[in-house]
Amino acid sequence: MSITAETAKAHAHDPAVLCCRAEAGITIEAANLEDPAIFDDLVDSGLLNLDGALTIEEVLGAKLTKTCDSLCPLTADVVEGAKAPSKPAAPEAAEEEAAPAAAPVAAAAPAAGGVLKIHIGEGKDIDLEIPVGALGGGGAAAAEVPAGAAAAVAAAPAAEQEAKLIRSLTRKHFNITEVKRGPETKIDGTTLYIREGIEKECIDSQKLVYDLKIDIITPADYHTYSETIMDVQPIAAKEGEDELGSGVTRVLDGVVMMVTGTDANGVQIGEFGSSEGFLDENIMWGRPGAPEKGEIFIKTQVTVKEGTNMERPGPLAAHSASDIITQEIRECLKKLDESLVTDTETFDQYRRPGKKKVVIVKEIMGQGAMHDNLILPVEPVGILGGKPNVDLGNVPVAVSPLEVLDGCIHALTCIGPASKEMSRHYWREPLVLEALHDEEIDLCGVIFVGSPQINAEKFYVSKRVGQICEMLDVDGAFVTTEGFGNNHIDFASHHEQIGMRGIPVVGMSFCAVQGALVVGNKYMTHMVDNNKSESGIENEVLACNTLCPEDAVRAVQMLKNAMGGEDVKAAEKKWNPNVKTSNVEAIESVTGKGLNLVENEQSLPMSQKRKEKYD
Amino acid sequence: MTDLKYGDKIIRMEGVIVEVHDGSVAIDLKGRLGYLKVPMRMFISDYPIKVGQEVAWNMSFVEQLGPEINEKYVSNLDTYTRRQKEMREKNQNNKEV
Q: What is the DSSP string of A188-224?
A: ETTEEEEETTHHHHHHHH-TTEEEEEEEEE-GGG-SS
pLDDT band at residue A84 under the 50/70/90 scheme? confident
Asked if A392 and A436 sit in the same domain, the reply is: yes
Domain co-membership, A73 together with A143: no
End-to-end alpha carbon distance in chain B: 52
Phi, psi of B45 (to 5 degrees): -135, 140
Name chain A contacts of B70, Cβ cutoff 8 Å: 608-609, 612-613
Give backbone dihedrals phi and psi of A230, rounded to 5 degrees, phi first.
-80, -40
In a domain, residue A108? The reply is no
Residues A300 and A318 in one domain: yes
At A56, is the pLDDT very low, low, confident or very high (cuts 50, 70, 90)?
confident
A149 and A68 within one domain: no
pLDDT at residue A611, as a whole number: 55
Residue A120 DSSP class: B
Going by pLDDT thresholds of 50, 70 and 90, the confidence category of residue A135 is very low
- Checking if the pLDDT of A137 tops 70, the result is no
CB contact under 8 A, B41 and A265: no
pLDDT at A129: 52
H or E segment to which residue A258 belongs = strand A255-263
Looking at residue A159, its pLDDT comes to 56
> Quick check: B72 and A607 CB within 8 A?
yes
B4 touches chain A (CB under 8 A): no
Is pLDDT above 50 for A134?
no
- Cα distance from A351 to chain B (closest Cα, Å)? 36
Q: pLDDT tens digits, residue range A436-458?
A: 999 999 999 999 999 999 999 99
CA atoms within 13 A on the CB side of A159: 0
Average pLDDT over residues A1-14: 83
pLDDT classification of B6: cutoffs 50, 70, 90: confident
Same domain, A330 and A361: no
What pLDDT score was predicted for residue A327? 97
* Least confident window among A96-105, A374-383, A547-556, B59-68: A96-105
Domain containing A319 equals: 168-344
Got the DSSP string for A280-330? HHHB-TTSTTSPPTTPEEEEEEEEE-TT-TTSTHHHHHHHHHHHHHHHHHH
Residues B7 and B51 in one domain: yes
Determine the pLDDT at residue A520: 86
Confidence of residue A219 (pLDDT cuts 50, 70, 90): very high
Closest C-alpha among A611, A610, A604, A603 to residue A223: A604
Q: Of the ranges A221-225, A500-504, A599-603, which is most confident?
A: A500-504
| A608 reaches B (C-beta below 8 A) | yes
The pLDDT of residue A93 is above 80:
no
Taking only residues 57 to 96 of chain B, the set having a beta carbon closer than 8 angstroms to any beta carbon of chain A reads 65-66, 68, 70-73, 76-77, 79-80, 83-88, 90-91, 94
Interface check B31 vs A, CB under 8 A: no
CB A305 within 8 A of CB A232: no
- The pLDDT confidence band at residue A615, using thresholds 50, 70 and 90, is very low
pLDDT above 90: residue A211? yes
Best B18, B38, B47, B72 residue to mutate vs chain A (most A CBs within 10 Å): B72
Nearest CA among A46, A57, A77, A47 for reference residue A16 = A57
Residue A199 placed within a domain: yes
Are A139 and A268 found together in one domain?
A: no
- Pair (A227, A281) in one structural domain: yes
* pLDDT-derived band at A121, boundaries 50, 70, 90: low
Closest to A364 (Cα-Cα) out of A446, A456, A256: A446
Chain B, 34-53: which have a CB under 8 Å from a chain A CB? Answer: 37-49
Q: Residue A580 and residue A351: Cα distance in Å, rounded?
A: 31
Closest CA in chain B for residue A537: B1
B36 Cα to chain A: minimum distance (Å): 12
Residues in A closer than 8 angstroms to B77, CB to CB, are: 274
Q: Answer yes or no: do A369 and B49 touch at CB < 8 A.
A: no
* Cβ pair A480, A508 in contact under 8 A: yes
B58 and B75 co-located in one domain: no
Suggest the residue from A276, A310, A390, A601 to mutate for an interface test with chain B (most B CBs closer than 10 A): A310
Q: Which residue of chain A is at minimal alpha-carbon distance from B43?
A: A486
In terms of phi and psi (left: phi > 0; alpha: psi -120 to 50; beta: otherwise), the region of A381 is left
Q: Which of B4, B10, B40 to mutate to test the interface with A (most CBs of A within 10 A)?
A: B40
Asked, for residue A98, whether it belongs to a domain, the answer is no
For A586-601, the DSSP string reads HHHHHH----PPPP-G
A488 inside 8 A of chain B by CB: no
> What residues of A are in contact with residue B91 (Cβ under 8 Å)?
210, 264-265, 306
Give yes or no: residues B42 and B80 share one domain: no
| B49–A272 C-beta distance less than 8 A | no
Residue range A279-297: mean pLDDT, rounded: 94
Q: How far apart are CA A6 and CA A33, in angstroms?
A: 12
Residues with Cβ within 8 Å of residue A194, at least 6 apart in sequence: A179, A180, A181, A182, A185, A214, A216, A298, A325, A328, A329
Q: Mutate one of A367, A513, A609, A614 to test the B interface: name it (highest B CB count within 10 A).
A: A367
Q: Are residues A337 and A209 in the same domain?
A: yes
Ordered alpha helix ranges (H), A502-593: 549-563, 578-591
In a domain, A536, yes or no: yes
- Residues in chain A, total: 615
The verdict on B22 touching A (C-beta cutoff 8 Å) is yes
Average pLDDT over residues A20-34: 87
Same domain, B97 and B74: yes
Structural domain count, chain B: 2
Specify the CATH number for the domain of residue A76.
3.90.1210.10
User: For this structure, is A414 an active site residue?
Assistant: yes
Which position among A72, A414, A469, A548 bears the catalytic label? A414
Q: How far is A578 from chain B (nearest CA, A)?
A: 19
Out of B23, B49, B72, name the one closest to residue A608 (CB).
B72
If asked whether residues B1 and B45 sit together in one domain, one would say yes
* Confidence at residue A113, expressed as pLDDT on a 0 to 100 scale: 42
Distance from the Cα of B13 to chain A's closest Cα (Å) equals: 18
With residues binned 3-state (H G I as helix, E B as strand, rest as coil), the percentages for chain A, rounded to 5, are 30, 25, 45
Is residue A160 a part of any domain in this protein? no
User: Which range, of A14-18, A38-42, A321-325, A467-471, averages the lowest pLDDT?
Assistant: A38-42
- Closest chain B C-alpha to A40 CA, distance in angstroms: 17
Residue A276 backbone dihedrals phi, psi, to 5 degrees = -75, 165
| In a shared domain, residues B17 and B53 | yes
A223: which residues sit within 8 A by CB, 6+ positions away?
A: A278, A279, A280
Residues B17 and B42 in one domain: yes
pLDDT at residue B90 is higher than 90: no
Domain assignment present for residue A480? The answer is yes
A609/B70 touch (CB, cutoff 8 Å), yes or no: yes
Share of chain A above pLDDT 70, in %: 85
Of A344, A362, A378, the residue at which a domain comes to its end is A344
- Contact: A274, B77; criterion CB under 8 Å: yes
| A523-569: pLDDT as tens digits | 999 999 999 998 888 888 899 999 999 999 999 999 999 999 887 78
Which whole number is the average pLDDT over A42-66?
A: 85
> B36 and B3 in one domain?
yes
Same-domain pairing of A202 and A340: yes
Kindly state whether residue A46 falls inside one of the protein's structural domains.
yes
Are the beta carbons of A310 and B42 separated by less than 8 Å? no
| Residue numbers of the domain that contains B56 | 1-64
B73 and B56 in a common domain:
no
ipTM: 0.87
Domain boundary among A80, A113, A145: A80
Q: Please, are residues A309 and A214 in contact by the beta-carbon 8 Å criterion? A: no
Half-sphere exposure of A118 (CA within 13 A, CB side): 25
pLDDT at A328 over 90: yes
Q: How many domains does chain A have?
A: 3
In this structure, the dihedral spanned by the alpha carbons of residues A103, A109, A110 and A114, taken in order and rounded to 10 degrees, is: -120
Residues A359 and A332 placed together within one structural domain of the fold: no
Q: In what order do the strands lie in the sheet with A236-238?
A: A236-238, A247-253, A164-175, A341-351
B12 and B46 both lie in a single domain? yes
Domain co-membership, A298 together with A187:
yes
CA distance B26 to chain A (A): 12
Q: Which amino acid is at A529?
A: D
Q: H or E stretch including B15? A: strand B11-20
Residue in A225, A311, A365 closest to B41 by CB: A365
Looking at the fold, whether B33 and B52 belong to one and the same domain comes out as yes
- Asked if A255 has any chain B CB less than 8 Å from its own CB, the reply is no
Q: Which of A370-384, A439-453, A465-479, B57-71 has the lowest mean pLDDT?
A: B57-71
Question: Could you say which of A285, A315, A344 is where a domain stops?
Answer: A344
pLDDT at residue A101 tops 70: no
Cβ–Cβ of B70/A487 closer than 8 Å?
no
Longest dimension (CA), chain A: 96
Predicted pLDDT at A488: 94
- Mean pLDDT of all residues in chain A? 85
Which of A142-146, A215-219, A260-264, A346-350 bottoms out in mean pLDDT, i.e. has the lowest?
A142-146
| Chain B CA closest to residue A282 | B72
CATH number at residue A150: 3.40.50.2300
Model confidence band, residue A123 (pLDDT cutoffs 50, 70, 90):
low
pLDDT of residue A143: 34
Contact residues, chain A, for B68 at CB < 8 Å: 612
Average pLDDT over residues B30-48: 93
* Predicted confidence (pLDDT) at residue A63 exceeds the cutoff of 90: no
Report residue A182's pLDDT band, with 50, 70 and 90 as the boundaries. Answer: very high
Q: Which residue of A has its CA nearest to B48?
A: A454
Q: Assess whether B18 and B60 both reside in one domain.
A: yes
Q: How far is B6 from chain A (nearest CA, A)?
A: 17
Q: How confident is the model at residue A109 (pLDDT cuts 50, 70, 90)?
A: very low
Does residue A86 form part of some domain?
Answer: no
The answer on A377 and A307 residing in a single domain is no
